[in-house]
Amino acid sequence: MAFQKDFLWGSATSSYQIEGAAYEDGRGMTVWEDFCSRPGKIMEGHDGDVACDHYHRYREDIALMAEMGIKAYRFSIAWSRILPQGTGKINEKGMAFYSNLVDELLSYDIVPLVTLFHWDLPYTLYQKGGWQNPESVGWFAEYASAVAKGLGDRVKHFITFNEPQCFIGLGHVTCEHAPGNKMSKRAVLEMAHNVLLAHGTAVQAIRSIVPDAKIGYAPTSTVPVPVSESKEDIEAARNAYFGFGADADNYVWSTSWWSDPVILGHYPEEGLRLFEESLPHIGQDDMKTICQPLDFYGQNIYHGYPVGSDGKGGCIREKRKAGYPRTAIGWAVVPESLYWGPKFLYERYHLPIIITENGLSCHDWVSADQKVHDPARIDFMYRYLWELNRASREGVEVAGYCAWSFMDNFEWAKGYTERFGMVYVDYQTQKRIPKDSAYWYRDLIRSGGALLDGQKPEGF
């Protein structure tokens, strides 16, 4: 058993995906309400207006977390619930909701992991240019300060941004997510730079209010997995993870572009060369602002792809095996991504790693025995966590794991057609049913990870 005694066994959700109460108690409109109102954007015309009704049912949900033995709950704050217009006067009812949520978690000794931004930008700020507006840096700092003042006496773990690659890339490059406004590469890189500056100013704001805070950042990545453990293939995978390859148009998904400035204090040289004609203005002190000391590095990892050496110092993306395992949403099942990803990231950034999201969508339903059996999820979690445990055994400092997700929820453009939760939600009645995986995860947590001891799972 390699995980440390204070390992954060957690689960994760996000505000727009579960809270509902979209128009209650002074909450302001977000880009997602607008996006969901556009015909054809969300599968089956779904929206997050009610979602899992967590806003009214959080006590029931937290009691379920306690039954599962969850030690840490990663949730996001809805910016527009705290500041309905994005800036200005604080909405006391919104702050009270999160204050009560935190108190309820602490009553069960569950550590709150607060994410400040999980994609739901206040609509009024989008009208002012959103992340392309340089003032967005100050907007976010004001919001971070409000949260720190309201919750920092009890919350000690903060994450600034969740998956900036997604809310910028899916929102402004592919446009499959809100706000769905396609922008030029120059504009997208301007937004990315402002997001990084906003991260740095938020860290500064939180530390000025909560000196003992532990602060991190949670980008995402798809991990290049070496086809063998030869030095050449491992180096090829490492280079593929942090490099840009031949596809310069894939810039928005780059691991190093989003993390090198935050942790190392500079943009990657390869990216600067590739994007030279589209680079935003980078101020003299911008990197000092962006690169603030962090306590941990969050990473969302769901899958990977095979990479091998080309024999000339480069890498080749290999084809997947015919009939490779896939989740219900169609993502490849690649357990080794939770070994190689943390390993490569720890080598480069030297920060304790929390896997802030990992999980899968399954074809779940209530069986005739009125239970929800999800053996694929149990197998998936076992295989991925076995690989994470392997990384920990080999010296990677892994501080926690947050299963995505605690319960079924609104899966963005997929609406309610995908089920990622360990707890089943009947959206008509809002009844919660813990799936078999919830009980398996409970037993894993009770064992302190000992259920992962043994030989590598075979079968893939």
Residues annotated within the binding site for substrate are 17, 118, 162, 302, 404, 411-412
Q: Rg of the chain over CA atoms, in angstroms? A: 21
**Distance, CA of 94 to CA of 76 (rounded, Å):** 13
> CB of 417 within 8 A of CB of 411?
yes
Instruction: Report angle CA 95, 100, 5 to the nearest 5 degrees.
Output: 115
Place of tokens 């769901």: 302
**Distance, CA of 451 to CA of 386 (rounded, Å):** 9
Backbone φ and ψ for 68, nearest 5 degrees, come out as -80, -10
C-alpha to C-alpha distances, 242 to 224, 230, 236, 341, 446, nearest whole angstrom: 10, 19, 10, 11, 36
Instruction: Report angle CA 350, 355, 359 to the nearest 5 degrees.
Output: 155
Write down the catalytic residue from 19, 104, 336, 357: 357
The conformation of residue 174, written as its DSSP 8-state character, comes to S
> CB of 339 within 8 A of CB of 385?
no
Encoded tokens for 146? 């409000």
Encoded tokens for 180? 């769905």
Q: Residues annotated in the binding site, as ranges? A: 17, 118, 162, 302, 404, 411-412
Encoded tokens for 384? 């991925």
DSSP 333-398: --TTHHHHHHHHHHHHH-S-EEEEEE---B-----TTS----HHHHHHHHHHHHHHHHHHHTT--E
Give Cβ neighbours of residue 277 (< 8 Å, ≥ 6 apart).
Answer: none
C-alpha to C-alpha distances, 227 to 309, 337, 390, 395, nearest whole angstrom: 9, 12, 18, 22
> CB of 80 within 8 A of CB of 86?
yes
C-alpha to C-alpha distances, 280 to 188, 271, 309, nearest whole angstrom: 9, 13, 34
Give Cβ neighbours of residue 388 (< 8 Å, ≥ 6 apart).
Answer: 338, 339, 342, 355, 398, 401
Residue 163 annotated as catalytic? yes
Encoded tokens for 439? 């009980």
Write down the catalytic residue from 163, 190, 336, 418: 163
| Extended beta strands in 240-330, E state | 297-309, 315-317
Residue 357 annotated as catalytic? yes
**Catalytic machinery residues:** 163, 357
